Chains A and B, each alone.
Chain A
Amino acid sequence: MAVGLILFGILVMAFAMVAAKRLSALIFGFRAQSFFLFMLTFILAWRENSTQLYIVTTMLFAVKVVLVPNFLQKVARRIKADEDLGLSVNPTVSMSAAVLLSYMAYLFTGKIVSIPGEFENSALFISLSATMIGTFLMITRMKALAQILGLLVMENGIFLAAASVSGGMPFIVEIAIFFDILLVVIILGIFVFKINRLFTHIDVDKLTELKG
């Protein structure tokens, strides 16, 4: 039951991020989603009572709930990015699209993969929804920071799949992936700085010098 609620929370947060119009809301949404994810993994770790999963849970908390959102906020403050996300699709349409995507994810898990087991099925559904919504955010939000967040939402979705469906990946892989996410965010942050310095904005939609 608790697990179901948490999964629901992850999905709701994904929707909330689609509805978000401001950067801080987006970052908050991500933090909250990560927190739900943390709770889920914690429950899983507690159930299986595995040390490795506890370590993963801790890292999740550290990286996704604390470090990354803080870093992004810091970047946003440093470059004095305005709060606007550069929505190319307004929130209402975005929400409808997100619902549609979730429905597709639902169909996909039900029909194509057909994994037995209530929890695994819904976890896969939620994780796919989150992944697709993350992609959707990346496609429709014009600002560089929003794209980073979209990517992170995708990663969250994948992590959910990894954590629940497979009952946790091999430990070293998990660690490497966390390390990797941290690195991605930092490097992307550096590039956001560079973009801001060279272009005096972070509107990546206007980065169309290279084409054809």
Chain B
Amino acid sequence: MQIFAILLIPLALSGIAVLPGKTRSFGVFNAAGHFINAVLAVWLSLDLLRTREAAAYLGFFYADLLSAFFILTISVINFIAALYSIGYISSDVRDSTMSERKAKAYYALFNLFTLTMLSVPVVSNLGMVWVAIEMTTLVSAFLVGFYNRKESIEAAWKYIIICSVGITLALFGTILFYYTASRDGGVSSLNWTDMAAVAGDLNPSILKVAFLFIVVGYGTKAGFVPMHTWLPDAHSQALAPISALLSGVLLPTAVYAIIRFATVINICIGTSYTGNLFMFFGLMSLGISAGLVLVQRDIKRLLAYSSVENIGIISIGLGFGGTFAIAGALFHVFNHAAAKSLMFFAAGRAVKKYNSHSIRDIRGMISAMPFAGTMLIVGAFALTGMPPFSAFFSEIMIIISGFTGGFLFQSSLLLFFMAVVFCAMIHNISRSVFGEKPSGMAAEGEPLSGKLAFGILMLIICTAGIVAPGFFKELLTAASEIIRGA
């Protein structure tokens, strides 16, 4: 039953947001609501781990451990983003970049956005998954174009159009799935559980074609190169908390959809087909984004390309197959979400303070804003997989499985591109964080809500790799078992 609560809380919050009242106090209320959501998500995972059975409600809502993992990741990041929003929005309201009314609209949209994202993993029907993902685009488009500046409107337009094109292709793939399920499998249903049950009877060649459409379609939303083109625009123009959500959890949500289809195919024709496609898109994303990170001058676009890179890593992990690699990929989803949120929050503060997106202009952050500056550089290391930060562990899990699974060439490329991205990232970020701050700029602290948000993320990043709670490990293992179709 936690699922309903998890869905209802954001819905209710978005309703409450438009009621009259002070924005700041609503922000606190909002964060509290999302905190409850995160707790519920943990509870749900624990419940499911105990029963080891998928929970289905009304034949429409459905949650197994894979869903639980995604719900957990999404709700945790939602909570932190909500927390960070308090300080961010009220400072925007204070310096009148944003009217009180717009702030309310922000909170309403924020909650709708989280609602749509949370509804992706809790529906059993692949058609509804499609609808939910399309909804995430539509809602977040407003958040991308929130400031109504030329660039943000341009970004929003590109975002909707490209994602809609992609998602239309995904719908075609879904239809092909449905077609073979109803004709060869004899189940007129879009529930993957039903499909998986008859997977052996399905027509392999139709499944293969269908999966291409699925990968390209949802891959557009997930940010696979070369369909990633909307991503840097949207991420760089959205508000910082939204950028974090877009990058940290929205992209994996699309990956989740692909995973659900892949599971069915894996049962039918084995893992090598989907695995190869995952690796192909993963390496492509990694390679191209490595170059783009290197020569990027806009700090938020830099982070956006880094998201492409990380989605690539996740995808390669999924492609390697095997419980360990897939668990690594899922773990990386979580770690990337945490580290990337941290980076976007810090970058958002920098962009506001320096009033520029350009790395050339953002100098000496560590003197101008010691807290955010430290977070940015530490986040850069965390994101690129330096121990003791958690991303190192997920990345090494993936690479280990690559080597042991015999994907020597792919793993070597993975290592190489990761090294390039690391270099590029540090090359760019270190110049922003260190150095002399612009003359006449006063040092500035971090508001309490921001400090809390950063603190929680830092805690997650530092500890998740080393002392992750037992249930979390179990969750990862169980989820990866589900993906393998075991």
Physical contact A–B (CB less than 8 Å): yes
Residues of A within 8 A of B (CB): 112-115, 131, 135, 138, 144, 147, 151, 154-155, 158, 161-162, 165-167, 169-170, 172-173, 176-177, 179-180, 183-184, 187-188, 191, 194-195, 198-199, 204, 207, 209-210, 212
- CA distance in complex: A158, B209 (Å): 15
Contacts of B472 in A (CB 8 A): none
Contacts of B292 in A (CB 8 A): 212
- CA distance in complex: A191, B153 (Å): 7
Is B421 interfacial (CB-CB < 8 Å)?
no
Are B154 and A207 closer than 8 Å at their CB atoms? yes
Is B161 interfacial (CB-CB < 8 Å)?
yes
Shortest distance between the CB of A182 and any CB in chain B (Å): 11
Shortest distance between the CB of B109 and any CB in chain A (Å): 12
Shortest distance between the CB of A43 and any CB in chain B (Å): 19
Contacts of A165 in B (CB 8 A): 175-176, 179
Contacts of A173 in B (CB 8 A): 125, 127-128, 130-131, 190
Contact with A along B146-180 (1 / 0, CB 8 A): 00111101111110110011001101100110110
Stretch with Cβ within 8 A of A (4 or more), from B3-11, B134-142, B399-407: B134-142
Are B141 and A187 closer than 8 Å at their CB atoms? yes
Contacts of A188 in B (CB 8 A): 160-161
- CA distance in complex: A53, B406 (Å): 51
- CA distance in complex: A154, B164 (Å): 10
Considering the complex, give the chain A residue whose CB is closest to the CB of B157: A191
Given contact pairs A183-B138, A188-B160, A177 touches B175 in the complex (Cβ within 8 A): no
Secondary structure of the B side of the interface? helix
| Contact partner, B205, options A112, A155, A166, A176, Cβ 8 Å | A112
Q: How many residues of B contact A (CB 8 A)?
A: 49
- CA distance in complex: A135, B167 (Å): 12
Shortest distance between the CB of A89 and any CB in chain B (Å): 18
Is B448 interfacial (CB-CB < 8 Å)?
no
Considering the complex, give the chain A residue whose CB is closest to the CB of B162: A138
Are B128 and A158 closer than 8 Å at their CB atoms? no
- CA distance in complex: A210, B154 (Å): 8
Shortest distance between the CB of B145 and any CB in chain A (Å): 7
- CA distance in complex: A114, B180 (Å): 12
- CA distance in complex: A135, B138 (Å): 20
